[in-house]
Amino acid sequence: MKIIIAGGGIGGLTTALCCLHHGHDVVVLERAAELGDVGAGIQIPPNAMRVFEALGLGGAFDRFAVRPEAIEARMGRSGQMLFNIPLAETALERWGSPYLHIHRADYITLLASALREKEKTSVRLGQEVAGYRQTLNSVTVELADGSELSGDVLVGADGVHSVVRDQMLGADRPVFTGNVAWRAIVPIKLLGTDAPRPTACAWMGRGAHCATYRVRRGEFANLVAVVERDGWTLESWSEEGSREQALADFAGWHPTITRILEKTDRLFRWALFDRAPLTTWVDGRVALLGDAAHPMLPFMAQGAAMAVEDAWVLARELASSASANDGLRAYQSVRYERASAVQARSSGNSKVFHRRTWLGQLATYGPMWLAGKVAPALIHKMSDQLYGYDVTAP
Ligand code: FAD
């Protein structure tokens, strides 16, 4: 089949690779003039790495990424450890694939270079998808410059503000969660003894939480710092914020957090909006994938991982079904429940991370601390369903 993919983000490029792997031809239409992503890190859990290993890309990721030693949880102000349990070896032994941290730009570069090595694919930049129409036999994509392109299937991997989704289901109605995420990246050598350890660390606080980890072979520290706020309207990765505001949001927090905010060149913020699961992801020969289908709050580090799982299933079901429409229906039926469940759990996690009262903190973090001391395997077990899931299994 000829698959047209709207969007060259993590979801779109992975879909292209999975479709080629399953024998389809691919065209990626990306609005931006260059492929790339914002200057921030991203976590790749084992359930997503399994897809890249099936595509033969496991080694390529190892060249760019970091394998965190442990998962940690700490109190945001005192730095008091709630738990620290091993991750690098455990991920391989328990879930069969590594857990990685990577810079987003490296992630996109890696996927794009893997695509460039393939035949029967083209990535067209500066191509903005404006809409689509379809017949029984084909789908035609309408571009903003007035040109058109026809194929067998259109995949809307055009992100949280998807135009493909808007045409399929009408305008989106996101709800502001009252949370804003700051993000920053800093060379480790600028942080001295305050540098975050090479772990996946969640820092809990009253009405706020942070995640720290390392990227670029461990040479940079990455911070995502989420704080509760009123009345935000703009949902964008590229909105810059002031250092004073970020430092005021995290005043009194552990120096590992505040030092990153002090030393970073630029600070960006992303207002977090929540959305209920969509009623459908498929309209005949057109399907939504990744954030276009199930945008989720970043409280489980699974948004892109779900896009990667989607990509494998969509390509496989199109290869094994009698028609494009059947393949896309099968894709939705395999993926909908799992992605919606992760979307709901991500939404629920904001409450766990931001306990406001002393009693609430004790009731939530006390058992975490105890589990880390006496039954660390319990914490690993809680992730089995998520990280141990093998979407590539026949
Ligand atoms: P996008 O990355 O948004 O890509 C969409 C692409 O489509 C873009 O390149 C865009 O330019 C293009 N496009 C848009 N409109 C058009 C159009 N009309 N025509 C053509 N092209 C178009 N996920 C994880 O798995 N792990 C994490 O650790 C993690 N951390 C996160 C931290 C934060 C603070 C946030 C906000 C999210 C995080 N996520 C994480 C979620 C993850 O970033 C997203 O789920 C993922 O980037 C979605 O990929 P996508 O390809 O679906 O969409």
Total Cβ atoms within 10 A of residue 302: 25
Instruction: Among 15, 30, 164, name the best residue to mutate to test ligand 1's pocket (greatest count of ligand atoms within 8 A of Cβ).
Output: 30
Q: Is the CB of 19 under 6 A from ligand 1?
A: no
Is the model's pLDDT at 54 over the cut of 90? Answer: yes
Residue nearest to atom 32 of ligand 1 (CA): 298
Work out the average pLDDT over 293-311.
94
The predicted structure's pLDDT at residue 96:
95
Q: From the CA of 304, how far away is ligand 1's center (Å)? A: 7
Gap between the Cα atoms of 162 and 297, Å rounded: 16
29-33, 266-270, 315-319, 377-381, range with the lowest pLDDT: 377-381
Q: Is the CB of 42 under 6 A from ligand 1?
A: yes
Q: From the CA of 10, how far away is ligand 1's center (Å)? A: 7
Q: From the CA of 193, how far away is ligand 1's center (Å)? A: 33
pLDDT tier at 377 (50, 70, 90 boundaries)? Answer: confident
Q: Is the CB of 179 under 6 A from ligand 1?
A: no
Is the model's pLDDT at 381 over the cut of 90? Answer: no
Total Cβ atoms within 10 A of residue 311: 31
The more confidently predicted of residues 40 and 315 is 315
Gap between the Cα atoms of 120 and 115, Å rounded: 10
Ligand 1 atom showing the smallest separation from residue 129 Cα:
19
The predicted structure's pLDDT at residue 394:
83
The predicted structure's pLDDT at residue 263:
96
pLDDT tier at 281 (50, 70, 90 boundaries)? Answer: very high
Contact present, 337 and 310 (Cβ < 8 Å)? no
Is the model's pLDDT at 251 over the cut of 90? Answer: yes
Residue nearest to atom 35 of ligand 1 (CA): 298
Gap between the Cα atoms of 258 and 250, Å rounded: 7
SS3 131: strand
Q: Which residues carry out catalysis? A: 213
- Percent of the chain past pLDDT 90, that is, above it, reads 73
The mean of the pLDDT values for the chain is 92
Helix 46-54 × helix 303-320 angle, to 10°: 40
Is the model's pLDDT at 321 over the cut of 80? Answer: yes
pLDDT digits (tens, 9 = 90+) for 62-94: 989 999 999 999 999 999 998 899 999 999 999
In eight-state DSSP terms, residue 182 is: E
Ligand 1 atom showing the smallest separation from residue 224 Cα:
34
Is the model's pLDDT at 169 over the cut of 90? Answer: yes
The predicted structure's pLDDT at residue 57:
96
The more confidently predicted of residues 32 and 206 is 32
